[in-house]
Chain A
Amino acid sequence: DTEVTQTPKHLVMGMTNKKSLKCEQHMGHRAMYWYKQKAKKPPELMFVYSYEKLSINESVPSRFSPECPNSSLLNLHLHALQPEDSALYLCASLGTGDEQYFGPGTRLTVT
């Protein structure tokens, strides 16, 4: 298995909802990432987990809450989001040669 999977592919949520994005990889990679990508912009780093511990938080608002239950799973819990949080959320894992493997992303729309 050489891929990163993300669910759901699309998500529409209201500003008062609570939802979660999920990411999974079975390549034994020990670092996993969340990125946010707006249309026609590069991915922006949000969080990095290394060996299941949060190592980097790029000053992300607390309405985004990451979780790494085990070395293969990465979640992003969403609560009280704003319309400007609508974006493509990408998960990635870090290979042994430092290359990143990206999932297909979750397209999030906040109404």
Chain B
Amino acid sequence: GESVGLHLPTLSVQEGDNSIINCAYSNSASDYFIWYKQESGKGPQFIIDIRSNMDKRQGQRVTVLLNKTVKHLSLQIAATQPGDSAVYFCAEIGTPTGNQFYFGTGTSLTVIP
């Protein structure tokens, strides 16, 4: 399958600071990317998505940036809260069926109160 990887396995931030989680992907033909949050003992939870025809998409306190030139994806969390502590995965839809999701390695975010 496609290779989707993350630059940093762990990230610690102070409560109230902004967090940035990065992801690199290898398949330049991928056209859909998703960020998931997974808390301990739970399944992954959809956070935000972006299609390849966009560079940026904003949600509530979260922003995803897509740089297709360098095949890089990032998730920005504004005013990070203790409840944001979790593992974050990026995922891409593989081709050609459009049904295959491949997950990156994951980044463990810890928010320090």
Contacts and interface: CB of A to CB of B under 8 A. Distances in A.
A103 B43 contact: yes
Interface residues of B, number: 24
Interface of B: 1, 32, 34, 36, 41-46, 49, 89, 91, 93, 97-106
A61 B91 CA distance: 24
Contacts of B105: 41-42
Interface residues of A, number: 26
A98 B43 contact: no
Contacts of B44: 43, 90, 100, 102
Contacts of A94: 99
A45 B46 contact: no
**Pairs of residues from A and B, 7 with the lowest C-beta to C-beta distance, nearest first:** A102-B43, A42-B103, A102-B44, A104-B43, A99-B46, A48-B99, A105-B43
Nearest to B49: A99
Nearest to A9: B41
